[in-house]
């Protein structure tokens, strides 16, 4: 009897991310904000540009004054992640940081933004250098998404 081959390191990593997001969502943010190796993580809820359904993604973030910054790295893949395309189509999003849920507005910063490198450095530090590794893997410029919580009133 031939045993199945073990999962790849990438498959294990992706499954770990799925479990982390499930814990974050099902605990309503009580667990998950810093569950994955202690890195700050938020939940980003976008509206699917094709389906109109709410899509949730757990992302490492950097805080920049009152703004939250996330990177559309997609693991260094050739294409932007679907959530970036979704928020470009509809920038009204919701973020959840721990137990706090905040309606927010998303803006995509590209490499021509004069503040791009500073924001990238903040995000890369929050993600312990991983975004620089992803950037080295691809010719695609990694978008930085600026999330601005909307205040009531």
Give me the residue spans of the domains in the chain.
Answer: 9-149
Question: Looking at residue 34, what is its pLDDT?
Answer: 84
pLDDT (mean) for 69-96: 95
Q: Name the most confidently modeled range: 18-27, 97-106, 123-132.
A: 97-106
| Separation between Cα atoms, residue 54 and residue 42, nearest integer Å | 16
Which pLDDT band, with edges at 50, 70 and 90, does 96 fall under? very high
pLDDT (mean) for 20-37: 86
Which pLDDT band, with edges at 50, 70 and 90, does 51 fall under? very high
**Residue 59 pLDDT > 60, yes or no?**
yes
| Separation between Cα atoms, residue 77 and residue 80, nearest integer Å | 7
From residue 122, alpha-carbon distances to 20, 48, 82, 118 in Å are 23, 28, 23, 6
Average pLDDT across the chain, whole number: 92
Instruction: State the DSSP H helix or E strand holding residue 2, giving kind and residue range, or none if neither.
Output: none
**8 A C-beta contact, residue 108 and residue 42:** no
Question: Looking at residue 153, what is its pLDDT?
Answer: 46
pTM of the model: 0.89
Name the architecture of domain 9-149: Roll (2.30)
Question: Looking at residue 46, what is its pLDDT?
Answer: 98
pLDDT (mean) for 12-40: 85
């Amino acid at each position: 009897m031939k045993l199945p081959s073990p999962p790849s390191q990438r498959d294990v990593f992706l499954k770990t991310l799925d479990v982390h997001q499930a814990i974050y969502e099902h605990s309503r943010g009580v667990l998950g904000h810093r569950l994955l190796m202690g890195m700050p993580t938020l939940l980003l809820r976008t509206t699917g540009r094709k389906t109109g359904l709410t899509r949730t993604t757990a992302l490492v973030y950097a805080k920049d004054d009152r703004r939250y910054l996330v990177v559309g790295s997609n693991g260094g893949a050739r294409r932007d992640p679907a959530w970036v395309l979704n928020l470009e189509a509809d920038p009204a999003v919701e973020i959840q940081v721990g137990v706090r849920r905040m309606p927010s507005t998303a803006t995509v910063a590209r490499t021509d933004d004069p503040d791009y490198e500073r924001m990238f450095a903040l995000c890369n530090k929050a993600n312990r250098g991983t975004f620089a590794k992803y950037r080295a893997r691809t010719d695609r410029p990694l978008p930085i998404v600026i999330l601005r919580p909307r205040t009531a009133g």
